[in-house]
Chain A
Amino acid sequence: MLQQKKITPWLLVSPAILTLALVMLYPLAQVMVMSVHRNVIYSQTHQFVGLKNYAVIGSYFLIPSLLINTIYWTFACLVFQFLFGFTAALILNRGFWGSNVLRTMLLFPWVISPIVTAIMWKWLYDPSYGIIDELLGQPIAWLGDPKLAMISLVIINVWQGFPFWMIMTAAGLKTIPAEIYDAATIDGANLRQQFFRMTIPSLRATLSVTILMAFIFTLNYFALMQVLTQGGPGTVTSTLPYAVYSLAFIQQNTGAASALSVMLAVVMVAIIGIYIRVYNKKDD
């Protein structure tokens, strides 16, 4: 390696560190301060209220349904993103003629911005002019029906998110040497045995990282609710992140919104911590 001066790397890294500190760490401290004050921004007063905001959130009658909606949203999205993305990866992994073109096309939904995605699907779902209802031959209020609204949003998120699972699992599949399949075939293992005894176990490391990243992205994703349903009809599509947004910017209660986002962050960190511990234990 080249001759070293101790200060040089730190000088090179410092602009990046400072930016991250300003935009991530400082607001993180600020949100905790705000969560023990009344409405910092709109009332212009810095009245300390202790844990009152937390008590307000704790006694908020909607919390149980928000929790259920959040779990439903995150779990349903992850399961179907995985199923669709992994299926695509398995097929493309065989590397037939044109598979690269197919892969590129399947990646498109992933880079399309949330707002274009929301508008695209609003147009598809439209109860009067939507093509989906036209093709099905009956009018369905996808986003307006309390029974269908959440699943309609899940479909959009799966559309947007499955390519991420596809590239992650495809990269994992590439690390499995082809020879072990040849050996297994000679030994008489059928395709299903090869899949469950060899493919799936080899993907453990890949899946652990992918689940973690997708969990955080999906849980935090509320642009669809903001644009398409405003958490409704009623509160059936209100997830916790959407509730933070709505408390802060619609009901203009920054104190309660800060308290809720701190609680959400603590819960997320706890879940991630437990997840990493469980996963590491299984590896031993």
Chain B
Amino acid sequence: MVERRVYGLISVICMIFLLLFALFPVYYLIVSSLKNSVELNSLHQTLWPHQFTLVNYAKGFANENLYRALSNSLIVSLATTVVAVAVGSLAAMGLARFFFKGRSFLLNGILVSQLFPIIVLLVPLFVVWYQLHLYNTRISLVITYLALTLPLSVWLLVGYFSRIPVDIEEQALIDGCNRFQSLTRILLPLSLPGIASTSIYVFIQAWGEYIIALIMTSSDRARTLPVFLALQIGQHSTDWGLVLAIAVISLLPTLILFYFIQRFYASSLTSGAVKG
């Protein structure tokens, strides 16, 4: 019993440490973005602002380039989400509802492409899009993000579709639906929660992606929010109020969306790995 109590005490201490470690940076980012410039430029920072202010956000939203970056990010992320879920659902239907030669090869290939080292793509992707005259466009970002998010999207959707019994579709076939109708009218509507969760995963990935957006954009025409944010850090001086406010603007959609899918996401991600 003493042994169990000691381990219990250690657990509590570890958990408090981990919670502080995980949450303090997020807390401090948000709280700091609400400090005024006098407090931000003080050599004695405080854990709680003396005075709350939205002046940094006002400054951010007065910046026309922020709107440009925000709309680029929204367009790219939404377009990637729609296309990835459409293409991913088709592939997942093929993989979850048909048994054909090469099926397990494709399933494994898609899983392994998750592990593709992106660094190898860095230079050639830039060159390929440059030669196709798609450098510095949103469409090249959408296609690239599509490829990066497809493997896990297909994997999540296959898992979801497989959990839906085929009996209903078989019944629909007997009642005169064709194969395609049985997928679009029966399987897809039944899978809406899985599709919603996959959409959120894709959106979060596209919304936050930085390195590829950095090398494939050169002006406000296609520059997304993460790249815009990185450019606000000055070589010598940084307007911290503005930077922190933009960081929070970029962060909040992610945290809110993630809250809705975390359970589904965690269980789907691990199901392949743990059983496999």
Is there an interface contact between A12 and B91, defined as CB atoms closer than 8 Å?
A: yes
Residues of A within 8 A of B270 (CB): 167-168, 170-172
Closest-CB distance, B95 to chain A (whole angstroms): 7
Is there an interface contact between B250 and A115, defined as CB atoms closer than 8 Å?
A: yes
Is there an interface contact between B99 and A1, defined as CB atoms closer than 8 Å?
A: yes
Is there an interface contact between A15 and B115, defined as CB atoms closer than 8 Å?
A: no
Residues of B within 8 A of A1 (CB): 99, 166
Stretch from A21-29, A56-64, A71-79, A144-152 forming part of the interface with B: A21-29
The residue in B123, B243, B254 that gathers the most chain A C-beta atoms within 10 A of its C-beta is B123
Q: Is A191 in the interface zone, CB < 8 Å from B? A: yes
**Hey, what's the 0/1 contact readout for A238-254 against B, CB within 8 Å counting as 1?**
00010011001100001
Residues of B within 8 A of A109 (CB): 22, 25-26
Is there an interface contact between B244 and A23, defined as CB atoms closer than 8 Å?
A: no
Is there an interface contact between B22 and A30, defined as CB atoms closer than 8 Å?
A: no
Is there an interface contact between A31 and B43, defined as CB atoms closer than 8 Å?
A: no
Query: In the complex, which of the residues B22, B32, B121 contacts A24, with contact meaning CB atoms closer than 8 Å?
Result: B121
Per the 8 Å Cβ criterion, residues 96-121 of A in contact with B are 102, 104-109, 111-116, 118-121
**Hey, what's the 0/1 contact readout for B81-113 against A, CB within 8 Å counting as 1?**
000000110110111011110010010001001
Interface size class of A (residues with CB under 8 A): 35 or more
Is there an interface contact between A115 and B210, defined as CB atoms closer than 8 Å?
A: yes
Which residue in chain B gives the minimum CB-CB distance to A31? Answer: B124
Query: In the complex, which of the residues A13, A106, A249 contacts B90, with contact meaning CB atoms closer than 8 Å?
Result: A13
Q: Is B192 in the interface zone, CB < 8 Å from A? A: no
Is there an interface contact between A9 and B23, defined as CB atoms closer than 8 Å?
A: no
Residues of B within 8 A of A190 (CB): 3
Residues of B within 8 A of A9 (CB): 94-95, 97-98, 100, 103
Q: Is B55 in the interface zone, CB < 8 Å from A? A: no
Q: With A19-B143, A116-B250, A171-B273 as given contacts, are A220 and B26 in contact (CB-CB < 8 Å)?
A: no
Q: With A20-B150, A111-B255, A210-B273 as given contacts, are A245 and B122 in contact (CB-CB < 8 Å)?
A: yes
Closest-CB distance, A274 to chain B (whole angstroms): 15
The residue in A23, A94, A118 that gathers the most chain B C-beta atoms within 10 A of its C-beta is A23
Closest-CB distance, B20 to chain A (whole angstroms): 11
Query: In the complex, which of the residues A13, A102, A112, A241 contacts B15, with contact meaning CB atoms closer than 8 Å?
Result: A102
Residues of B within 8 A of A198 (CB): none
Q: Is B38 in the interface zone, CB < 8 Å from A? A: no
Closest-CB distance, A38 to chain B (whole angstroms): 13
> Can you identify 29 A-B contacts, CB atoms within 8 angstroms?
A13-B94, A15-B87, A15-B90, A22-B147, A23-B121, A24-B147, A87-B18, A90-B11, A91-B15, A105-B22, A108-B26, A112-B254, A115-B226, A115-B227, A116-B229, A120-B25, A120-B28, A120-B29, A124-B28, A129-B240, A167-B266, A168-B273, A168-B274, A213-B115, A213-B273, A244-B119, A245-B122, A261-B122, A261-B123
Give 15 new A-B contacts, CB below 8 A, not counting A88-B14, A120-B247: A2-B97, A10-B100, A12-B91, A84-B21, A88-B15, A91-B14, A105-B23, A115-B230, A119-B229, A123-B243, A131-B28, A171-B274, A222-B119, A254-B127, A265-B117
